[in-house]
Structure 1
Amino acid sequence: MHISEYDFDVMKVIKEGFRRIEGIKQPFLIAFAIYLAVAIVVQMLLGLVFPSDPENPNIVNQQIVAILSYPVLIPLLTGIMMMAVKQGRGNKDALDVKSIFEYYPLAGKLSFASLLIYLLTMFLPMMIMLFPGVLLAGAGENAVPVLMIIAMFVLLFVVMYLSIAYIFTLPLIADKGLGVWEAMELSRKTVAKRWGKVALVVTILSLAAVVGVLTFGIGLIWAIPLFFVTLYGLLYVMIFDDVEEM
């Protein structure tokens, strides 16, 4: 697919996101509550098979539970993203909460994409951390701190870059009918054009969510709809539908 040229003002996007959630917060909150409820049930059931003691957590089992939950949870998460996309396009049925269940036929593709993103943003960086260990075997004591610092910076860069770059992968699969790798690459190459600005938007929205939690959850009434509407109802539509820049 064509990689669009685009640009936007970060603060204008955030302000427009706040404007757009007025009067439509409830459907997004209900949809996200459904997602959380399903996530809790699925994690509990899988936890019976792959237990992990809170006092002595089993990291491997925790990762297995997370990955096995993808076919159930990722289509729901994609459904919330698509609610925002449709609302951003002015679709009259966009805020029908039942629509979040429509993406289970794509569970295989969505789950595989999520698994690949996990491997590239978490597993690969962990492998990178092993390289300094190999190098240190023949390095002097003075080289140890330098190599560790380099490894940490490489790890941080890889995680940050890919996590932001792949942020539009799931809606591209659901909305445009793209294959897994095609959607990942289109998202990465498109976001790369304005990676800094997209990353700043994600950071602001994430901080808003943190503030929401710190206010005993009250702030989440705004933060949750703001996250989906701004990223997917506003930015995704602007970038991939070639609408007017902000």
Structure 2
Amino acid sequence: MSDIYQAPEAELTSGEHGGEYGSLEKGLAGDYSLPIGGILSEAWRRISGNKGSIWLGVLLYIFAYVIVDFIAGMFTGINNWSAEGTSVSVTSSITDGPSLLHQLIITAVTAPLTAGLMMIGIKIARDEVVSGSIVYSYFDKIVPLAICSILMGILIVIGFILLVLPGIYLSIAYMLALPLIVDKGLGPWEALETSRKAITKHWFAFFGLGIVCILVYLAGALALMIGLIWAIPTVMVAGGIAYRNIFGRAED
């Protein structure tokens, strides 16, 4: 039986940045680096001239998410936009049928949107042509993306139930699963395991990058929210650079 995690034969490390690009094979072997300072510095440089595309993608994502949430609410009776509002906690989502269905619909339908938003940062990191409309470009892969997102959510919830730490571990380890489906053509479980195995090689470095990105968000929010104009694009591109360093270019 063939190894589903075997990297393709195509060369993925050539190009302008040479060794900065990883590959599936290198990622799974842990043959990559995630220098936090270097990633943020490069991300800051790369957002110049790309902030418009990034923010268009963010706004298109929010617009679509609100519509999906509203339509899901029509079927489930969960209305998050009424004057009273309907609080949907993790506990109620698990134990209450309509809340669970509502969350499943949102998770499934917005999976391509999330993948598209992540691909904006990845394409910028790889000097590829990018536009905000990429957010809507991956609905042809909605089935594997939805399955991946639902599986991811279930496993993370189980992890948090099991003494919390496994949930934290999986929350970080699965972060690159969705772009692996659209960028590398992997299946849902294959993408989850590829992301987990690769990130586990340098889990604390990835976790540290995540913490720093959260601090960047907070700094932008504290600056009268104006700082988010730069903070959100910087964090998105930083995530794209991390993906590029681990997994490299798209498959041919």
TM-score under structure 2 normalisation? Answer: 0.77
Distance 1:55 1:173, change over 3 A: closer
Partner residue in 2 for 1:182: 190
Q: Which moved more, 1:65-74 or 1:179-188?
A: 65-74
Work out whether residues 33 and 245 of structure 2, in 8 Å CA contact, stay in contact via their aligned partners in 1: no
Q: Identity of paired residues, percent?
A: 29
The runs of at least 4 aligned residues of structure 1 exceeding 6 Å deviation read: none
Report the residue type matching 1:114 in the other structure: S
Distance in 1 (CA, whole Å) between partners of 2:176 and 2:202 is: 13
Deviation at 1:228, TM superposition (A): 1.6
1:87 aligns with 2:124: yes
Structure 1 residue aligned with 2:87, among 31, 36, 57?
A: 57
Partner residue in 1 for 2:17: none
Distance in 2 (CA, whole Å) between partners of 1:12 and 1:175 is: 24
Q: Which moved more, 1:110-119 or 1:73-82?
A: 73-82
Distance in 1 (CA, whole Å) between partners of 2:171 and 2:140 is: 25
Distance 1:47 1:210, change over 3 A: farther
Partner residue in 1 for 2:177: 169
Deviation at 1:66, TM superposition (A): 2.4
Distance 1:189 1:46, change over 3 A: same
Gaps in structure 1 of 5+ consecutive residues: 129-153
Aligned length: 212
Partner residue in 2 for 1:206: 214
Distance in 1 (CA, whole Å) between partners of 2:86 and 2:59 is: 29
Partner residue in 2 for 1:102: 137
Deviation at 1:55, TM superposition (A): 6.6
Q: Which has the higher helix share?
A: 1
Partner residue in 2 for 1:237: 244
1:68 aligns with 2:94: no
Deviation at 1:163, TM superposition (A): 0.6
Q: Which has the larger radius of gyration?
A: 1
Distance in 1 (CA, whole Å) between partners of 2:205 and 2:159 is: 25
Partner residue in 2 for 1:40: 66
Distance in 2 (CA, whole Å) between partners of 1:66 and 1:213 is: 27
* CA-to-aligned-CA distance 1:9-39 (integer Å, 9 cap, x gap): 2222122211211221111111111111111
TM-score under structure 1 normalisation? Answer: 0.79
Gaps in structure 2 of 5+ consecutive residues: 1-5, 7-24
